[in-house]
Amino acid sequence: MTTGDELSKMGYTAEYFYVTPPSKKGEIFTMMRRSLGTAAALSAIMATCVIAAPAASATPDGCGDLTNGQLCLKDHTVGKTGSFKFRVSYDRHVSGEITVKLGTQRKNDQITAGALWFGNKKTTNGYAELSKTHPIDRGDCIRAVMEYQGSTFVGKWRCP
């Protein structure tokens, strides 16, 4: 077995508990710089995605405009207490079929509830719709929610 002194005489150095040959030092530092640069670029991209969170702008018919389509809450009953059928749809404006998770979210003076997911649906000709009957109170607001590839998209609140 070669000792540390013998390795030093041959030009090797012990760095971080492993031995690095002299010819590989430059390559290692270059790889480390590239890795750090890539990590910084990915962090910047991810931060931009979070800041540009996909909140829909409201339209009069209960839909919200997203970058690639419209997220709609149809048959929305607000201002009444009871169980009502809510339909949530996504109409994609770009080509290609995707699978989305659709649902609603409600809030009132005391709470903002987590999303009530109706299920997953693959778009057909760019369109997906799911519905579910669930309770709502007279003072509750409600909005459409959609999840796609780990991002959550929301519509505007509909309130009494």
| pLDDT of 145 above 80 | yes
Read off the pLDDT band of 21 (50, 70, 90).
Answer: low
CA distance 152 to 53: 8
Q: Which pLDDT tens digit goes with each residue over 78-127? A: 899 999 999 999 999 999 999 999 999 999 999 999 999 999 999 999 99
Tally of structural domains, the chain:
2
Q: Residue 159 domain-assigned?
A: no
The residue from 51, 71, 88 where one domain ends is: 51
pLDDT at 156: 87
Phi–psi pair at 151, nearest 5 degrees: -105, 140
Q: Are residues 76 and 142 in the same domain?
A: yes
| pLDDT of 61 above 80 | no
Q: Is the pTM of this model over 0.95?
A: no
Q: Are residues 26 and 83 in the same domain?
A: no
Q: Are residues 79 and 47 in the same domain?
A: no
pLDDT at 122: 98
Integer CA distances (angstroms), 82 to 23, 55, 130, 133, in order: 75, 28, 20, 10
Q: Are residues 139 and 97 in the same domain?
A: yes
Segment 142-155 shows an average pLDDT of 94
Domain with residue 137: its CATH number is 2.60.40.3880
| pLDDT of 27 above 90 | no
Q: Are residues 135 and 71 in the same domain?
A: yes
pLDDT at 15: 46
Q: Are residues 127 and 109 in the same domain?
A: yes
The residue from 13, 35, 51 where one domain ends is: 51
CA distance 117 to 114: 9
Q: Are residues 119 and 105 in the same domain?
A: yes
Q: Are residues 95 and 25 in the same domain?
A: no
Domain ranges, residue 41: 4-51
Segment 65-75 shows an average pLDDT of 90
